[in-house]
Each structure stands twice: as structure tokens, then as C-alpha cells.
Structure 1
Amino acid sequence: MQKVSLDALARQLLLTAGACDSGRAADTVHGGHEKTLRQTVVALSAGNALAEHENPGEATLLVVRGRVRLDTAQASWEGRDGDLIVIPQARHGLYALSDAVVLLTVVKNR
């Protein structure tokens, strides 16, 4: 069994994101490219984003800390600490409204 402190990892990744030009940092805590299920903790410094991209399968976004906005061509959703956003099957981007950390869970299409 493996245990991960999302709070401790969030603190670490926010420090890393703040020191990077991209303003972001991530760590896959479960799964990976060779697995169907993947969970990745992503930190974004305020004002930074993950550019628009395709959804590789069913996905959710749990806001661990901060505030984010998920945008598609048709709609936007804002989330804050503790919110769970179901990511639509559409191109989307993620924008940090404040320093933020999210847990991205993806079950890839086969």
C-alpha cells in the first residue's frame, strides 16, 4: 500500500511552480502512461495556465488548494478548495485564479 500526503505535496509543488518560468509543477502520484488510471497533482502559480488541450478520457479535477477556472469553447467552471469538477469531453484549458493545486484523475480511453 502507498500513502501520499496531498497537503505536503501541494506545498512542495507550489514552491517549485513559483520558482519556474512556466509557473507550474506536477507529480504523478498513481498510475502513469502505461496504466489506465492516472492521478497527477498539478500546482499553478496565480495567473498561469495549462493551455487548451484534448481530454484523453474520463477525467475529474479536485481542487486541493486555491481557485481555478476550467474553460471550454462553450462554458467555464470555477472551483475552489474541496470542489470536484467533472472535465467535459471537449478541448479545455485550466487557469489559476490564485496559487492553486489540483488533483487530476484520468481514466484513459482505450
Structure 2
Amino acid sequence: MTKISIEALALHQLHAAAEAGGGRASETVYGGHEKSLRQTVIGMLKGTSLGEHDNHDDATVYVLQGRIRLQIGKDSWNARPGSLLIVPHGRHSFEALEDSAILMSVAKRPYPPGQLLP
């Protein structure tokens, strides 16, 4: 078994984001390309974003520190520490409304959304 302090990792990623040119830093806590589940802690400085991208998998974002905004088309949701956002399928983006750390969990789908297995 492996034990990880998500709070310590969040703080580390915020410090790394401050040193990074783009104001963001991340570390995969569990999983990766070889697993169906991937969990990543992302540190983002105020004003930085994860630009628009598509989501075909099941995903959640748990806010560890700070405040973020999830934008989908004209709709947006603000979240603060302790909030869990269920990320809809489709194009979306995230913006840090203040220095923030999030835990993003993605479960890769074996098939496209809406398609039933045979």
C-alpha cells in the first residue's frame, strides 16, 4: 500500500506553479496511460487556465485550495475548497480565480460516451 499526503502535494504543486513559466504544475498521484483511473494534483496561479479541451471520459475535480471556475460554453460554475465538480463530457476549460490546487480524477472509458457495449 502507498500513502500520499494530498495536502502536501497540493502545496508542492503551488510552489512549482510559481516557478513555472506558465503558472501551472502537476503531478500524477495514481495511474497513467496504462491504468483506467488517473488522479492528478494540479497547482494553478491566479489567472491561469487549463484551456478549452474535450472530455470523453468520466472526470471529477475536487478543489483542495483556492477557487476555480469551470466553463462549458456560456455556462460556468465557481468552486471553492471542498467542492467536487462532475465534469460533463464535451469541451470545457478551468480558470484559477485565485492561487488554487485541485485533484483531478479521470476514469478512461473503454468506448465513446453514449455508445453501448455490444
Q: Please tell me the TM-score bracket, short chain as reference.
A: over 0.9
Letter in 2 for 1:50: L
Contact kept in structure 1, 2:56 and 2:90, CA below 8 Å: no
User: What displacement does 1:109 show?
Assistant: 1.5
Amino acid in structure 2 at the alignment position of 1:3: K
**Is the Cα contact below 8 Å between 2:66 and 2:101 reproduced in 1?**
yes
Task: Give the conservation status (yes or no) of the 8 Å contact 1:58–1:106.
Answer: yes
**1:82 and 2:82 matched:** yes
Aligned to 1:40: 40
TM-score (norm 2): 0.90
Structure 2: how far apart are the matches of 1:85 and 1:28?
Answer: 19
In the alignment, the residues of structure 1 paired with residue 109 and residue 56 of structure 2 have an alpha-carbon distance, to the nearest angstrom, of: 6
> CA offsets per residue over residues 9-31 of structure 1, 9 Å max, x none?
11111011011111000000001
In the alignment, structure 1 residue 26 sits paired with structure 2 residue 26: yes
Q: Do the aligned residues in 2 keep the contact of 1:56 with 1:106 (CA within 8 Å)?
A: no
Quote the residue 2:61 is aligned against. 61
Query: CA RMSD of the aligned region, Å?
Result: 0.8
Deviations 1:49-70 (A, max 9, x none): 0011111400000000000001
Please give the alpha-carbon distance, in whole angstroms, between the structure 2 residues aligned to 1:8 and 1:56: 30
Matched, 1:17 2:17: yes
User: CA–CA distance in 2 between the matches of 1:78 and 1:90?
Assistant: 18
**Which of structure 1's runs of 4+ aligned residues deviate more than 6 A?**
none
User: Which residue identity lines up with residue 43 of structure 1 in the other structure?
Assistant: G
Task: Figure out how many residues of one structure are paired with residues of the other and give that number.
Answer: 110
Q: Percent identical across equivalent pairs? A: 45
Give unpaired runs (5+ residues) of structure 2.
111-118
Partner of 2:99: 99
In our comparison, the structure showing a higher alpha carbon Rg is 2
Tell whether the 8 Å contact from 2:45 to 2:98 is kept in structure 1 after alignment: yes
